[in-house]
Chains A and B, each alone.
Chain A
Amino acid sequence: MSADLLRPPPASPAGPTRPAGGRGYLVVGGSRANLRVHRRSAIVGVLLLVALVVTAAVSMITGDFPITLDRVLATLAGNGDSGEDFIVWSLRMPRLLLAVLIGAALAVAGGLFQSLTRNPLGSPDVIGFQAGSATGALLVILVWHGSSGQVSLGAIVGGLVTAALIYLLAMKGGLHGFRLILVGIGMAAMLTAANDYLITRAKLIEAQDAAVWLTGSLNAAAWDQVLPLVLVVVALFPFALWAARDLRMLELGDDLAGTLGVAGPRTRTVTMVVAVGLAAAATAAAGPVVFVALAAPQIARRLVGVPGPSVLPAALTGAVLVAASDIVAQRIVSEPLPVGVVTGVVGGIYLAWLLGRAWQRGTA
């Protein structure tokens, strides 16, 4: 080994060849502005995109009134008859978009929180945010008898208040992942009890409405719910991408990340706000669709094979998961099921597999 190798070298001028990016990575762009892309994540992303397109096509052509693919495309181009227009534009399209947006929003929220807490259980559905949104929504449905818009608002306020409470209770000399999860699980238990109490006090019809909302359903999907969610997702996604880059560094531990130049407190605050916003907006749109926030980012992580939150693969996984679950929920029985039932089953199987594998590894 020569001594030259060990001397801190001067910043080398840009050479004639392009930056390679290291093993398993691609550098997209020039030497002044570029992105470093994990090769397998890119491939997985493309495959997930194909899966999403296929899922979307299936959900557009199947149903009580099957429409052929070319008629769907013609209708989308503006050449459908009035029946097709109604089914495609007013029924299936908002429903599909809502499923995709909810899946993406929940998956990203879950991925951010799991990274923040450094724990796969640290997702918004486990640590009480969705239960808090449910409490807000139930209060509006059962106590104030509000409209569906007000129910959404109630869900958002409920989610934000719960997040703030958990944050304040868990915050003691800095934000610690494990305490956040424990406080969150306690909060989720209390809120679930409160939700159950609210339902037992309600009139039968209201209770049924509330129960459907609580399972997370897309059966009443309409453009009114899609548009606000589009705005929230478009507004928050860039911040999620930005935060993910620093969260990946924070997984090295605060001391090391700090001395590498990562602003830890700022990253955590941005992450909290973005993740809570996404989770609350998604829950407000269709009720607490469970297990997506927990499972989608973990599935995406296993697909791409790199540690840290992978925002786009997680978003696509969540979108495919919810859109496909919704097809199953609509078609498997004559009376459409709430999508949350299906994601609950899928997520439950996944969780059992995850725990089983961990158990196997632990006892091997």
Chain B
Amino acid sequence: MSRARPGGGPHTDAEAIHTASSAGRLSGSRLTLGYQRVTVTRDLDVHIPDGSFTVLVGANGCGKSTLLRALARALEPQGGAVFLDGAALSSLPAKQVARQLGLLPQGPVAPDGITVADLVARGRYPHQRMLRQWSKADDTAVAEAMAATHVEELADRYVDELSGGQRQRVWLALALAQQTSIMLLDEPTTFLDIAHQVDVLDLCAELHLGGRTLVAVLHDLNLACRYATHLIAMADGAIVAQGAPTDIVDAALVEQVFGLSCRIIADPESGTPLVVPTRRKALGADPPVLQVPAAT
């Protein structure tokens, strides 16, 4: 798969320091990120463990999507650098990066009147050239991506006419067709109902089991705890905790990250941490209690 030349090009000091200090293929060092005059994060170091399903969580505006976009090279850092296999991302040819690292942006918009098969095929762009526009590998990759996301039957449908859940699977198929070993997903479950959220995350978990490194931004902390192998919690543009969800998620962390007081119990299904917000006194002491029918 990898066509990257390992260690090609001259090494700078920053790269040397970087390679010494990290194990993962993808990392960010002293990242200062922002938009024009707004700085979102400053001097942030982040490492994505290889083969992990890393999930970034945090309150709205904490910088998690900004960080993901920087890791995907969709946002140029104002300071610091993102490293892929020891080389600064900005120093690598765009297509070479695109064969290693894929992004599913937040709320992607399909061109008008595009079919599912056509959209998925566009994920093959980094493997193609102006005068070699299609190969056997492209055929295989598109077919496999559509099979893995169960969208084969939708191949000839227009993307505009699909439901939200179907559409998200099609976008995942596009990212899959790109055949990158690292996939970055920016809120892949937004606007989906709970069943489709689980559907998409199950699919992500399958992709992770297949050997890919996944990095996702998720809003739902409970789902994040259930699916992530590595959780990165952010607040105010800084990483406040990272590690396995079971190791790091406690009431104090949720209070710090979301400003929410809660109790943490074990998810009865998976044993992972489950956040139960505490009831505020102002809402009254005795809400209706769910009546569980007695067993007869």
User: Which A residues have a C-beta under 8 Å from some C-beta of B?
Assistant: 1, 3, 5-12, 14-15, 17-25, 27, 31-36, 173, 242, 245, 248-249, 251-256, 258-263, 305-308
User: Is B125 in the interface zone, CB < 8 Å from A?
Assistant: yes
A23, B140: Cβ atoms closer than 8 Å: no
Contact A8 B1 (CB under 8 A): yes
Q: Which of A7, A31, A262, A308 contacts B135 (CB 8 A)?
A: A31
Pair A33/B211 contact, Cβ less than 8 Å = no
Tell me if B192 counts as interface (CB < 8 A to partner A): no
| Set of chain B residues within 8 Å of A305, measured between Cβ atoms | 113
A-B contact pairs, 7 of them (CB 8 A): A12-B140, A25-B121, A25-B134, A34-B133, A261-B96, A261-B97, A306-B113
Cβ B117 vs Cβ A9 within 8 A:
no
The reply to whether the CB of B69 lies closer than 8 angstroms to some CB of chain A is yes
Contacts of A306 on B, CB cut-off 8 Å? 113-114, 118
- B102, A259: Cβ atoms under 8 Å? yes
B80 contacts chain A at the CB level, 8 A cutoff: no
- Across the interface, do B98 and A8 meet the contact criterion of CB distance under 8 Å? no
Contact indicator B135/A14 (Cβ below 8 Å) = yes
Complex interface: chain A residues within 8 A of B112 (CB) = 307
Q: Does B284 contact A (CB under 8 A)?
A: no
- Complex Cα–Cα for A6 and B206 (A): 7
User: Could you say which of A24, A242, A307 contacts B117, with CB atoms under 8 Å apart?
Assistant: A24
A255, B105: Cβ atoms under 8 Å? yes
Query: Is A261's CB under 8 angstroms from B113's CB?
Result: no
**Contact of B136 with A by CB under 8 A:** yes
Q: Which of B105, B118, B135, B207 has the most CB of A within 10 A?
A: B135
Assembled-state Cα–Cα distance A260/B108 (Å):
14
B150 to chain A, nearest CB (A): 8
For B207, list chain A residues within 8 Å (CB).
6
| Chain B hits for A24, CB < 8 A | 115, 117-118
A3 B74 Cβ-Cβ under 8 A: no
| A residues less than 8 Å from B126 (CB atoms) | 260-261
- Total cross-chain contacts (CB, 8 A): 151
CB pair B133–A258 under 8 Å, yes or no, is no
Which residue of B93, B98, B144 contacts A260 across the interface (Cβ within 8 Å)? B98
Q: Which residues of A contact B17 (CB under 8 A)?
A: none
| Contact of B132 with A256 in the complex, beta carbons under 8 Å | no
Residues on B close to A: CB < 8 A? 1, 3, 36, 69, 72-74, 93-99, 101-105, 108-115, 117-118, 121-123, 125-126, 130-142, 144, 147-148, 155-156, 178-181, 184, 206-207, 209-212
The distance from the CB of A119 to the nearest CB of chain B, in whole angstroms, is 11
Which of B111, B136, B181, B209 sits near A6, CB closer than 8 Å?
B209
Expressed in whole angstroms, the Cα–Cα distance for A5 and B109 within the complex equals 27
Contact A27 B133 (CB under 8 A): yes
Contacts of A1 on B, CB cut-off 8 Å?
147-148, 206
Do residues B137 and A11 form an inter-chain contact, with CB atoms below 8 A? Answer: yes
Which chain B residue shows the least CB distance to A18? B136
Contact A262 B111, beta carbon cutoff 8 Å: no
With A8-B181, A19-B136, A253-B109 in contact, is A261–B130 under 8 Å at CB?
Answer: no
A22 & B142 in contact (Cβ 8 Å cutoff): yes
- For A242, the chain B residues whose CB sits under 8 A away are 130
CA distance A306 to B103 in the complex (A): 24
B134 touches A36 (CB 8 A): yes
> Could you tell me the distance between the alpha carbons of A263 and B99 in the complex, rounded to whole angstroms?
15
- List 5 other contacts, CB 8 Å, given A5-B144, A252-B109, A259-B72: A5-B147, A24-B115, A251-B111, A260-B98, A261-B94
- Cα–Cα distance between A308 and B122 once the two chains are bound (Å): 12
Q: Select which of A36, A256, A262 is within 8 A of B103 by beta carbon.
A: A256
Do A8 and B132 contact each other (CB < 8 Å), given the known contacts A253-B105, A261-B126, A305-B113? Answer: no
Known: A1-B148, A262-B125. A256 touches B108 (CB 8 A): yes
B284 CB to closest chain A CB (Å) equals 45
The docked-state distance in angstroms from the alpha carbon of A61 to that of B117 is 46
Is A255's CB under 8 angstroms from B72's CB?
yes
Whether the pair B210, A6 counts as a contact (CB closer than 8 A) is yes
Identity of the chain A residue whose Cβ is nearest the Cβ of B120 in the assembled complex: A22
**Docked CA distance A305–B181 (Å):** 34
Look across to chain A and name the residue whose beta carbon is closest to the beta carbon of B75: A255
- Cα–Cα distance between A1 and B123 once the two chains are bound (Å): 21
| A248→B96 CA distance, assembly (Å) | 20
B134 and A21 form a contact (CB under 8 A): yes
The 8 A-B residue pairs whose C-beta atoms are closest, nearest first, are A6-B210, A261-B98, A261-B95, A307-B111, A36-B133, A259-B103, A261-B126, A255-B74
Q: Please determine whether A258 and B94 come into contact, CB atoms closer than 8 angstroms.
A: yes
Q: Which of A3, A256, A259, A261 contacts B210 (CB 8 A)?
A: A3
The answer to whether B148 and A6 have CB atoms under 8 Å apart is yes
Compute how far the CA of A259 lies from the CA of B104 in the bound complex, rounded to whole angstroms.
9
Given A23-B117, A255-B72 in contact, is the A8-B135 Cβ separation under 8 Å? no
Q: A8-B1, A32-B132, A307-B114 are in contact. Are A261 and B125 (CB under 8 A)?
A: yes
Whole-angstrom distance between the Cβ of B154 and the nearest chain A Cβ: 11
B101 CB contacts on chain A under 8 angstroms: 259
| Best-surrounded residue of B72, B210, B212 (most CB of chain A within 10 A) | B210
Complex CA–CA separation, A36 to B133 (angstroms): 6
Q: Is the CB of B211 within 8 A of A7?
A: yes
CB distance from B160 to the nearest CB of A (A): 11
Chain A residues positioned under 8 Å from B102 (CB to CB): 259-260
Contact across chains for A307 and B133 when beta carbons are under 8 A apart: no
Q: Which residue of A lies closest to B116 (CB)?
A: A23
Establish whether residues A252 and B210, one from each chain, have CB atoms under 8 Å apart when the complex forms: no
